[in-house]
Amino acid sequence: MNSYQRFCFNLLGKRMKARREQYATLRNDLISSRSKIPFEVYTSTAVISSVLVGLGMAVVIGIVTYLLNLPSLIKYKGAVPEVLVGLNQYSLIIGTVVATILSLLIFGGLTYVAFLLYPNIEAGNRRRNIDATLPYAINYITSMSTAGITPAEVFRLLGDSPIYGESSVEARYIAREIDIFGRDLIDALRLVSATTPSARMKEFLQGAMASISSGGNLTEYFRTKAKQYALENRQTQKLFLDTLGLIAESYVTAMVAGMLFLIILQSIMSTLSGEKMPIFLYIITYMMIPFGSIMFVIMISSMTPES
């Protein structure tokens, strides 16, 4: 917790603590994202930051509105109520006040919403990373368990291996519950499985708990899950490649052949009609093609599995 967060907590910490029940989703997202910032500190920082950003942008936009006399750019057409005619001489002041208030509400509100959404986004990023690295982490666990290392030490060793990404972080939290808080392995697994953002990790940890509780062969359970997740990974990659091929065909059809056809058609029509400003041709060239390509890039990026 830095000095700014400490300042925000001193101002609003008690009030935010009294409103914990209203932010249950946010608290779960903070825990799932493994944030090191306590809930009261985070919400206090969110409120103070939103107010500061809103005030800062309100001052800037208010000054710009006043200096450039932006309200004078608004032109009335048709019948105007007498009240507005009488206020016309104060249009600069009224416009500046309205712009300032709107800026305060809009930018302050957007900042606050961004603070509320960020833990959920971070938890989603962790979920994708865990799902991508879990099969390899389980292979590592299986190797260690086959060598006769105890389950607690296996998770401790996994937590010390950063190459497994967020799966190592979850194992590190299991080791922390055992080493620092003195819990047994089953309690540590239960706590971490309840807070992990990954459904696959939750299923794996709950299965490990059941195997330990029933006295089953934990090494064999690890080996079975390693084979299962390896198979699921191959299926996921095959599905992704098939989908990628379909998207590539769609891109060639819509953004290459389709746009080329429209450009040729519009060029011929513009020539025949003698149109000097082919607006639709400009729209195709400078809007439809770039934005369509960007949308394809975003779609492929969003569906690409974590490396």
User: 196 with 183: CB under 8 angstroms?
Assistant: no
The residue behind tokens 């900042």 is 111
User: 185 with 152: CB under 8 angstroms?
Assistant: yes
219: pLDDT strictly greater than 70: yes
pLDDT band at residue 81 using 50, 70 and 90 as cut-offs: low
pLDDT in tens, 188-218: 999 999 999 988 899 999 999 988 888 878 8
Q: What is the pLDDT of residue 96?
A: 82
What's the number of CA atoms in the CB half-sphere (13 Å) around residue 259?
19
- CA-closest candidate to residue 300, choices 292, 188, 12: 292
Q: Which two tokens stand for residue 212?
A: 């330990």
With a pLDDT cut of 90, the percent of the chain lying above it is 19
pLDDT in tens, 115-145: 999 999 999 889 988 988 888 899 999 888 8
Q: What is the chain written as a DSSP string?
A: --HHHHHHHHHHHHHHHHTGGGGHHHHHHHHHTT-SS-HHHHHHHHHHHHHHHHHHHHHHHHHHHHHHTGGGG----S---HHHHHHGGGHHHHHHHHHHHHHHHHHHHHHHHHHHHHHHHHHHHHHHHHHHHHHHHHHHHHHHHHTT--HHHHHHHHHT-GGGTHHHHHHHHHHHHHHTS---HHHHHHHHHHH-S-HHHHHHHHHHHHHHHTT--HHHHHHHHHHHHHHHHHHHHHHHHHHHHHHHHHHIIIIIIIHHHHHHHHHHHHHHHT-SS-HHHHHIIIIIHHHHHHHHHHHHHHHSPP-
112: pLDDT strictly greater than 90: yes
The pTM for the full model equals 0.74
Sign of CA dihedral 79, 81, 85, 87: negative
83: pLDDT strictly greater than 60: no
Q: What is the pLDDT of residue 65?
A: 82
Q: What is the pLDDT of residue 283?
A: 85
114: pLDDT strictly greater than 90: yes
